[in-house]
Structure 1
Amino acid sequence: MKRIFRAAVVFAGLAAAVLSGMPAAQAAPKKSFKVAYTVYIGFMPFAYLKSSGLMKKWADKYGIDVEIIQANDYVGSINQFIAGEIDAVGVASMDGLTMPAAGGVDTSIFLITDYSNGNDIVVSKSAKEVKELAGQDVYLLQYSVSHYLLNRALQLAGIDDPTAAKTVNISDAEISAAFVSQDAMKHAVSWKPLTEDMLKVKGTTNLFDSSKIPGEIMDVFIGNTQTLKDNPDFAKAVVGAWYEALGILKAGGAPAEEMRAVMTSAMGTDASGLQAQLDTTHFFYTAGEAASFLLSPENAKIWNSIRTFCFQQGLFGQGATSVDSIGIEVADGTVLGDKANIKLRVNASFTKEAADGKL
Structure 2
Amino acid sequence: MRRRHLLLASAATSCLGLWGCGQRFAPLTVSAHAWIGYEPLFYARQQGWMADILAKLNEVPDASSSMHALVAGLADCAALTLDEVMRVREAGVDMRVVLVFNVSNGADVVLAKPHVRQPADLIGRTIAVENGALGALMLAECLKALGLGPDQVKVQTVGFDGHLEAWATPQVDALVTYQPVAARLTQAGAQVLFDSSRIPWRIVDVLAVTESALSQRPDDVAALVGLYFRAYEQWRSNPQDASNWLVRRLHMEPNDIALVMQGLERPDLQANRSLLDGPEPKLLPQARSLATFMRDSGLLKRQQDVSDLFTGTALPELGAAA
Identity percentage over the alignment?
A: 19
Corresponding residue for residue 243 of structure 1: 229
Question: For 1:224 and 1:26, how far apart are their aligned partners in 2?
Answer: 17
Q: Distance in 1 between matches of 2:28 and 2:18?
A: 14
1:119 lines up with 2:112 in the alignment:
no
Is the contact between residue 106 and residue 196 of structure 2 (CA under 8 Å) also seen in structure 1? yes
Residue of structure 2 equivalent to 1:78: 67
- Do structure 1's residue 87 and structure 2's residue 65 form an aligned pair? no
- TM (normalized to structure 1)? 0.77
- What TM-score do the two structures reach when normalised by structure 2? 0.86
- Aligned pairs (5 A) from 1:2-21: 2-4=2-4
* Deviation per residue, 1:88-133 (Å, 9 max, x gap): 11111111112x1111111111111111111111000133456764
Q: Does structure 1 residue 274 correspond to structure 2 residue 274? A: no
Q: How does 1:206-225 map to 2 (within 5 A)?
A: 206-225=192-211
Q: Which residue of 2 aligns with 1:290?
A: 272
Amino acid paired to 1:355: L
Q: Residues 301 and 153 from structure 1, CA distance in 2 versus in 1: closer, same or farther, beyond 3 angstroms? A: farther
Q: Distance in 1 between matches of 2:299 and 2:222?
A: 32
Is the 1:112–1:221 contact (alpha carbons within 8 Å) kept by the matching residues of 2?
A: yes
- Cα offset, 1:83, TM superposition: 0.9
Change (3 A) 1:150 1:226: same
Counterpart residue number, 1:309: 293
Distance 1:123 1:131 in 2: 15
Letter in 2 for 1:300: L
1:48 and 1:259 in contact (8 A); partners too: no
Return the alpha-carbon distance in structure 1 between the equivalents of residues 36 and 263 of structure 2.
10
| 1:349 partner amino acid | T
Q: Which shows bigger deviation, 288-297 or 75-84?
A: 288-297
Q: 1:355, CA displacement in angstroms? A: 2.7
2:80/2:206 contact within 8 Å kept: yes
* Residue-by-residue CA offset, 1:279-306 (whole Å, 9 max, x unaligned): 111111x211111133566523211221
1:1-359 alignment, distance < 5 Å: 1-4=1-4, 30-57=25-52, 59=53, 65-98=54-87, 100-125=88-113, 126-128=115-117, 133=122, 135-158=124-147, 161-179=149-167, 181-202=168-189, 204-252=190-238, 256-284=239-267, 286-295=268-277, 298-317=282-301, 320=302, 323=303, 326-329=304-307, 345-351=309-315, 353-355=316-318, 357=320
The secondary structure found in structure 2 opposite 1:184 is coil
**Offset of 1:208 from its aligned partner?**
0.8
Query: Secondary structure at 1:111's aligned position in 2?
Result: strand
CA offset digits 1:163-208 (Å, max 9, x no partner):
55432211222121220x2123111101112223322333x21111
Unaligned residue ranges in structure 2 (runs of 5+): 7-15
Q: SS of the residue aligned with 1:30?
A: coil
Does structure 2 retain, via aligned residues, the 8 Å contact 1:115–1:217? Answer: yes
Instruction: Name the SS of the counterpart of 2:271 in structure 1.
Output: helix
Matched residue SS, 2:283: helix
Q: Which residue identity is paired with 1:109?
A: V
Q: Does structure 1 retain, via aligned residues, the 8 Å contact 2:2–2:36?
A: no
Report the residue type matching 1:244 in the other structure.
Answer: R
Q: Note the alpha carbon deviations across 1:227-282, whole angstroms, 9 max, x for none.
A: 11110012111110111111111123xxx433332222111113222222111111
Alpha carbons of 1:5 and 1:47: their partners in 2 closer, same or farther (altered >3 Å)?
Answer: closer
Q: Cα–Cα, structure 1 residues 137 and 110, in superposed 2: closer, same or farther, change >3 Å?
A: same
Residue 142 of structure 2 aligns with an amino acid whose one-letter code is: A
Secondary structure class of the residue paired with 2:233: helix
Are the equivalent residues in 2 in contact too, given 1:25–1:227 (CA < 8 A)?
no
Shift in alpha-carbon separation, 1:348–1:131, aligned structure 2, 3 A: farther
Aligned-pair Cα RMSD in Å: 2.7
CA contact (8 A) 1:114 1:281 kept: yes
Match of 2:9 in 1: none
SS in 2 for 1:346: coil
The structure-2 alpha-carbon separation of the partners of 1:135 and 1:154, relative to structure 1 and needing over 3 Å to count, comes to same
1:305 to 1:164, Cα distance in 2 relative to 1, 3 A: farther
Q: Distance in 2 between matches of 1:167 and 1:26?
A: 50
Work out the number of aligned pairs and report it: 308
Distance 1:228 1:129 in 2: 50
